[in-house]
Structures are given as C-alpha cells and as structure tokens.
C-alpha cells in the first residue's frame, strides 16, 4: 500500500480551511463507507463521507503520491475539499500506522478545530424572528428643523 504522510495530506489541501475541516470530519468519523484496492503500486480509494449530504469521494495514489481526487460536493475545486482530506486521513489510519485520531501537534490548529465544532452545521439556519416591540413602547417623532436665520462663520 501507499504510505502517505500528514505533510502529503496538508500539501494536497487547497486551503487551510479544507485541511482543518477535513481533520475535524475525520476525527468525527464522518466516513460512512470506505473501500480501497491496490494493483501494481496504484491504489484506488472510494468512500462516502457524511456532510450536509452524503458525498462520493475517489482518490488515486501511486507509490505514496496522491495523483488525483474527486468529490461530488459543491465545494470541490478540482483538487481538494474537506471530504477528500477526511478520506486521506482515514486511508492513513488504515495503512500507515493505525492512528485512531488525527494528530494534534499544533495548538493553534486545535483552537481552530474547537471553534469550528462550535459553529452551526452546514445546514442553512432559519432567520431569527425580529423581537417584538413592547406594547407600551414610546414612539419618537423626528422632525427636521430648518434654521433659516443662520448667520455664523463663513461668508
């Protein structure tokens, strides 16, 4: 099997956000189905990752190098997305040392992951209702005042 490193995964991520969110998805065990196969040094991985919907991910590697990847999500930019990063971490766990959690060596990244987990899910949220004004609220009427007799300053 192909041996990929955390640096390989980080380098494949198009953005820091893809990398961070992919790690969170991996730590949250979002991979629903996973299948990999190898033939003549070429490894093909197919997986389904749970996000807002279920997304199909395909990754092809050769001798430790990620050659191409695809995902059915709208965020896929032709190279990477959080679902692909999640699958790469899952592959690494299964074939490169049996890790059960993404390494957390970067304190700043840990804070970002915690903050991300506190964000609402990808589902659109209903707009909050406008608070109603108290029944006895005072109404302030503003009336423009014209000062026709201004005689100050500049001439």
| pTM tops 0.85 | no
pLDDT by 10s per residue, the chain, length 155: 568 889 999 999 999 999 999 999 999 999 999 999 988 889 999 999 998 899 999 999 998 789 999 999 999 988 899 999 999 999 999 887 655 444 445 566 666 666 777 766 654 444 444 545 445 545 545 555 555 554 555 54
Other beta carbons within 10 angstroms of residue 99's beta carbon come to 13
**Residue 120 is assigned to a structural domain of this protein:** no
Domain that holds residue 71: 6-112
Number of domain units in the chain: 1
**Residue 23 is assigned to a structural domain of this protein:** yes
């Amino acid at each position: 099997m192909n041996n990929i490193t955390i640096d390989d995964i980080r380098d494949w991520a198009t953005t820091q956000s893809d990398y961070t969110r992919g790690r969170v998805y991996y730590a949250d065990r979002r991979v629903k189905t996973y299948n990999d196969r190898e033939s003549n040094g070429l490894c093909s991985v197919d997986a389904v990752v749970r996000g807002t919907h279920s997304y199909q991910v395909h990754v092809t590697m050769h001798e430790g190098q990620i050659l191409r990847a695809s995902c059915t999500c709208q965020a896929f930019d032709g190279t990477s997305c959080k679902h692909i990063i999640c699958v790469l971490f899952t592959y690494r766990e299964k074939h490169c040392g049996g890790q059960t959690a993404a390494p957390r060596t970067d304190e700043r990244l840990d804070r970002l992951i915690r903050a991300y987990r506190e964000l609402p899910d990808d589902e659109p949220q209903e707009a909050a209702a406008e608070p109603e004004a108290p029944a006895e609220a005072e109404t302030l009427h503003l009336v423009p005042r014209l000062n026709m007799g201004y005689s100050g300053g500049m001439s």
